[in-house]
């Protein structure tokens, strides 16, 4: 069994980033040695802090699937660095994403602002993170969160121009996110499921929990999906899987409700 989870609006409260309502399930997964695999739009620097606080030994996925971080026990021919981690990059580099965004903005005159245009203080303002947290969120490696300040029509043109440049656009709780089109939360799960198969000789049962449009590819690539209600209230019909449970509670309370449903 592998449990994949989004963070903001799922394991963490959308506004306060609190996870206390999930504590019982976190302890239970740890006791049963079930890997809890974080799958988020956050950066590796942000996740590393939480991963340590939760005492996890599992891999994790960052920047909407653009990069996978393996502890030594999940490595095959990868060599872990001095901190004991090997990074697999599925997406495009932050530098390339920024240069495409700047080129599109200067030719099309679209109105948007990304984290690369923000100071740390502005990231803190827009996310509600403290300045330390905002600094870690600013350390992007393979995706750019942005605020769209232009029309819906312009957004659709923007999306097509990104596709033409080998990039894609998805949406989290607060921001749009630009990343390589060969990444995404679903791709990263498929990669880790294959790796598990190679290591253990069998395919795992998978559970996935998320709340945003960017989680749809995750919910579609697991055996048992939990759609946590929240900021977007996504229609169930957009998730193409039969094994879907939709929660009545938000954030970490909904997260626990979803695990009660499938594993309780
Ligand atoms: C951004 O991601 C969230 C996740 O859904 C969003 O779009 O609302 C990311 O920049 C992440 O790094 C950051 O921690 C988070 C804070 O709200 O916002
Ligand atoms: Mg979320
Ligand atoms: Mg997220």
Ligand closest to 142 (CA) is: 1
pLDDT at 239: 81
Mean pLDDT (whole number) for 164-192 = 94
d(CA 170, CA 108): 20
CA of 139 to the centre of ligand 1 (A): 12
Among 6, 19, 62, 127, say which to mutate for ligand 1: greatest number of ligand atoms within 8 Å of CB.
127
Q: At what angle do helices 251-263 and 23-31 cross, to 10 degrees?
A: 40
Q: Is the CB of 8 under 6 A from ligand 1?
A: yes
Dump pLDDT digits (tens) for 43-90: 999 999 999 999 999 999 999 999 999 999 999 999 999 999 999 999
Per-residue pLDDT band for 196 (boundaries 50, 70, 90) equals very high
Helix (H, G, I), strand (E, B) or coil at 163: helix
> Coil, strand, or helix at residue 95?
helix
- In angstroms, the CA 253 to CA 210 distance is 13
pLDDT in tens, 197-216: 999 999 999 999 999 999 99
pLDDT at residue 233 is higher than 90: no
Q: Kindly give the distance from the C-alpha atom of residue 42 to the centroid of ligand 3, in angstroms, as a whole number.
A: 7
**Terminal CA-to-CA distance of the chain, rounded, Å?**
14
Ligand 1: does its nearest atom lie under 6 Å from the Cβ of 62? no
For atom 5 of ligand 1, which residue has the closest CA?
172
Report whether CATH 3.40.50.1000 matches the domain 2-90+185-263: yes
- Check pocket membership of 158 for ligand 1, CB cut-off 6 A: no
Query: With 80 as the cut, is the pLDDT of residue 134 above it?
Result: yes
Distances in Å between the Cα of 142 and the Cα atoms of 96, 128, 138, 239 are 9, 22, 12, 25
**What would you report as the CA-atom Rg of the chain, rounded to the nearest whole angstrom?**
18
CA diameter of the chain:
55
CA of 226 to the centre of ligand 3 (A): 14
CA-to-CA distance for 164 and 228, rounded, in angstroms? 32
The structural domains of the chain, with segments of one domain joined by +, span 2-90+185-263, 94-180
Given the candidates 3.30.70.1880, 3.20.20.450, 3.30.980.20, 3.40.50.720, the CATH classification of the domain at 94-180 is 3.30.980.20
Q: What is the chain's mean pLDDT, rounded? A: 96
Q: What is the pLDDT of residues 7-50, one digit of tens each?
A: 999 999 999 999 999 999 999 999 999 999 999 999 999 999 99
């Amino acid at each position: 069994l592998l449990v994949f989870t989004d963070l903001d609006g799922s394991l963490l409260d959308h506004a306060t980033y609190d996870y206390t309502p999930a504590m019982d399930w976190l302890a239970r997964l740890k006791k049963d040695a079930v890997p809890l695999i974080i799958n988020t739009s956050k950066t590796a620097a942000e996740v590393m802090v939480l991963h340590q606080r939760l005492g996890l030994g599992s891999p994790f996925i960052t920047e909407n699937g653009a990069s996978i971080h393996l502890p030594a026990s999940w490595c095959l021919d990868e060599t872990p660095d001095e901190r004991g981690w090997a990074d697999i990059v599925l997406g495009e580099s932050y530098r390339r994403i920024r240069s495409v965004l700047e080129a599109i903005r200067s030719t099309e005159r679209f109105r948007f602002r990304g984290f690369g245009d923000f100071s740390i203080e502005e990231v803190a303002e827009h996310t509600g993170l403290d300045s330390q947290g905002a600094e870690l969120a600013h350390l992007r490696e393979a995706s750019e969160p942005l605020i769209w300040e232009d029309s819906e029509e312009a957004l659709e043109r923007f999306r097509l121009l990104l596709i033409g440049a080998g990039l894609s656009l998805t949406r989290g709780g607060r921001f749009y996110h630009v990343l390589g089109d060969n990444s995404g939360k679903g791709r990263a799960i498929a990669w880790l499921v294959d790796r598990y198969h190679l290591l253990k000789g069998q395919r795992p049962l998978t559970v996935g929990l998320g709340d945003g449009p960017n989680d749809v590819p995750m919910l579609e690539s697991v055996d048992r999906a939990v759609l946590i209600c929240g900021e977007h209230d996504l229609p169930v019909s957009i998730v193409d899987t039969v094994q879907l449970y939709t929660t009545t509670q938000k954030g970490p309370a909904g997260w626990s409700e979803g695990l009660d449903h499938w594993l309780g």
